[in-house]
Amino acid sequence: MKTDQLFQHYLKEAETDFSGWDFSHITETGRLASGMLSWSYGSMAKTLMADATSMLDMGTGGGELLSKLQPLPQTVCATEGYKPNFPIAKERLEPLGVKVVEVEPDNLLHFPDKHFDLIINKHEEYDPSEVKRVLQDGGTFLTQQVGWSDCQDINRLLGAPVNEEYAYWNLEFAHQHLEEHGFEVILSKKEYPVQRFYDIGALIYYLKAIPWQVVDFSVEDYVDSLYELHLKIIREGYLDIMQDRFLLKAMGK
């Protein structure tokens, strides 16, 4: 392992700083590729934005996606609860006229009742009662979510424990939960695309960026398993990992 210069090169690369949800370091170089879905969250959001006047983007990350969906509606707010992302989102979005608000783990939305006619949410936890409160009657809530089984192949291959806390989180539960809170669900879909890693450095970078996949991940703790995966990728050319995605479009009433 110590004499494997390529593996050591990837370990050194793991020291690269990461900010926001910008995966361009490994995606734009073709080192990580995500499987295709039958829907496009971005296209759906863009279509809905054309008729919106007051919009909320929940869990904006570093504002990467929202900033690319211009032109924006007249009034746009964004929330972010992951503290390292918050200043990045403010820097990127406030010049575009977006009000960026930090949220706490209680998922409370500090906005007036019925303030938005469109709420979009990509991979962000939410409280249906709070979404219902701030959404206008007849307004639209669009969310793409990550199901509990997402990328658990990584945990299995590394010998890392899987977080059982959210084992209930799937399309069926989320669909029913929205209906129980007074939403009319218009669209409901789930799929299991494949995410492909072309080198072990891309996987390490990914695990550093998504700290909840393998809790308290460090290269040192998993170096032996990482080396085995490195050899597997060298032999086979890539490592495929199953994702878990679902989509809900609902109307407030």
* The model's pTM: 0.90
Instruction: Give me the phi and psi of 220, to 5 degrees please.
Output: -60, -40
Residue 22 confidence (pLDDT) above 70: no
d(CA 172, CA 49): 27
Percent of all residues in the chain with a pLDDT value above 70, rounded to a whole number: 97
Average the pLDDT over 3-18 and give the result.
83
Closest CA to 52 of 80, 34, 76: 76
d(CA 195, CA 114): 38
User: CB–CB of 219/11 below 8 Å?
Assistant: yes
Residue 45 confidence (pLDDT) above 80: yes
Enter the DSSP assignment of 27.
Answer: H
Give the pLDDT confidence score for residue 25 in this predicted structure: 82
CATH of 5-252, one of 3.40.640.10, 3.30.70.2080, 3.40.50.300, 3.40.50.150: 3.40.50.150
User: How confident is the model over 99-157, as pLDDT tens digits?
Assistant: 999 999 889 999 999 999 999 999 999 999 999 999 999 999 999 999 999 999 999 99
Q: What are the strands, taking DSSP E only, across the chain?
A: 32-34, 54-58, 75-80, 99-102, 116-122, 135-146, 183-191, 194-197, 239-242, 245-252
Give the pLDDT confidence score for residue 24 in this predicted structure: 78
Give the pLDDT confidence score for residue 178 in this predicted structure: 98
Q: Which residues 6+ apart lie within 8 Å of 107 measured at CB?
A: 125, 126, 127, 130
Distance of CA 96 to the CA centre of its chain: 22
User: How confident is the model over 189-245, as pLDDT tens digits?
Assistant: 999 999 999 999 999 999 998 888 999 999 999 999 999 999 999 999 999 999 999
Give the pLDDT confidence score for residue 96 in this predicted structure: 98
Give the pLDDT confidence score for residue 18 in this predicted structure: 63
Read off the tokens for 120.
Answer: 């979009």
